[in-house]
Amino acid sequence: MSKGHFINRKDELKNLTHGLKRGKDYILIAPRRFGKTALAKKTLEEIKQDPNYLIIHIDLMFYSGGSIKSIAEGIINKCLNALGISGKIRQLWRQVDFSINLKLNYKDLELEPVIQLFKDGSGEDEWRLLEEALELPEKIAKKRNKKVVVFYDEFGEIDYFSERAVKVFRSVLQHHEEVNYLFAGSQETLMNKIFLDKSGAFYRFGELIYLKELTKSDVFSYIAETYPSINPEVIYEMLDLLNGHPYYTSLVLEHFISNPEISQDVNSFYQYIRTVLIPQEEAYLELQILKIKERVNALDVMRILSLKLSPYKELQLKEQQVYSTLRVLEVGGYIRKESRGIYTITDPLLEFFLRD
Ligand SMILES: Nc1ncnc2c1ncn2[C@@H]1O[C@H](COP(=O)(O)OP(=O)(O)OP(=O)(O)O)[C@@H](O)[C@H]1O
Ligand SMILES: [Mg+2]
């Protein structure tokens, strides 16, 4: 995480903070590294200022590839932590002072059944444990007379577990009156399937917010005002190249600050991009390319798009082949459809890398 640059997102931050406090639920959707987690964390910090609120932050990526029980376990841990109990359920339940503590201080929350289920839960019990875990925030809110905001990051991951998991989440969360939810996910198509499609389990659950790049004018004024020694021409060049992509923008800004010479003229800037930024990000770029290559023609299509040309015109492929390749790339989050037949690459550094 960067040293606290947080550019723009003022409207989103305000809407999310106020909305969640007024009882609305939200879904944040954007490609990788667009600043979903950063924005959500900022929102939670704001809400936490109000002593009537408890916040719970659960990152589902952490449990990906795990079991239903492991998700439940993660949720229980986070709920216990929100109550001020430090430690993990896996270790805690064995400790005598933990059960005394529960009886003394948390009797009202009736945590014993959850702990019992955790101890001997397996098979069908896993699902009951998940339901109990999902129920905890509402229980906490009611018994403690607080409002609770829960943030589920990387929510698309639960779809990989099973359809049943998504349905269980929905069936429990929809009854909650004292808890409001914020979800975030990076696979736009998957998130749309869950939250936007009429047949999706979370249809109409909350308001969808599609996070875009940072606006160029905001990035420009932030940098120009905060770091007047940076050459404005270099800022323009950087905006052109990186298009306000939050991750790269904040990374480059850090490099500008620690190495002022790269921000003095445009040539040094490009030299820096090629010799520092690209090598530093190479593993991530190569990983993306590897995934793109899983589909025939997809890398060719990406190369053509990186040159701002049309794959329909430039490639010796049937229209249908180009169309379905574009769809696959879109579903993977590598490109975004701007208008009919017009696609842009979501990762500006990958675009530069392919073009260069
Ligand atoms: N508003 C912002 N201003 C400046 N930098 C930002 C902003 N938002 C995000 N960043 C930078 O971009 C990086 C990536 O942001 P973040 O991890 O929130 O993205 P994400 O959308 O959650 O990505 P992923 O899908 O990979 O989880 C952060 O570490 C931070 O440095
Ligand atoms: Mg994130």
The ranges assigned to domains in the chain are 10-210, 218-355
Query: What pLDDT score was predicted for residue 298?
Result: 97
Instruction: Give the phi and the psi of residue 23 in degrees, each rounded to 5.
Output: 95, 15
Q: Rounded to the nearest whole angstrom, what is the distance from the C-alpha of residue 103 to the centroid of ligand 2?
A: 37
Query: What pLDDT score was predicted for residue 331?
Result: 87
Contact of 209 with 29, CB cutoff 8 Å: yes
Rg (CA), the chain: 23
Instruction: Give the phi and the psi of residue 89 in degrees, each rounded to 5.
Output: -50, -40
Query: What pLDDT score was predicted for residue 97?
Result: 79
**Atom 16 of ligand 1, residue of closest alpha carbon:** 35
Note the pLDDT tens digit of each residue in 222-247: 999 999 999 999 999 999 999 999 99
Atom of ligand 1 at shortest range from CA of 38 = 18
Q: How many CB atoms lie within 10 A of CB 160?
A: 13
CA distances from residue 14 to 17, 19, 20, 214, 329 in whole angstroms, order as listed: 5, 8, 10, 16, 33
DSSP code, position 276: I
What residues of the chain score a pLDDT lower than 70? 1-3, 121
Q: What's the CA gap between 92 and 94, in Å, rounded?
A: 5
Note the pLDDT tens digit of each residue in 182-224: 999 998 888 999 999 999 999 999 999 999 999 999 999 999 9
Note the pLDDT tens digit of each residue in 17-56: 999 999 999 999 999 999 999 999 999 999 999 999 999 9
Query: What pLDDT score was predicted for residue 121?
Result: 66
* Residues, Cβ < 5 Å to ion ligand 2: 37
Query: What pLDDT score was predicted for residue 1?
Result: 41
Tell me the three state secondary structure of residue 295: coil
Query: What pLDDT score was predicted for residue 227?
Result: 93
Contact of 6 with 38, CB cutoff 8 Å: yes
Identify the CATH class of 10-210.
alpha beta
Phi-psi category of residue 213: left, alpha or beta, with phi > 0 → left and psi -120 to 50 → alpha: beta
Query: Which run of H or of E encompasses 151?
Result: strand 147-153
Query: Ligand 1 — pocket residues by CB below 6 A?
Result: 1-2, 5-9, 30, 32-38, 186, 246-247, 250
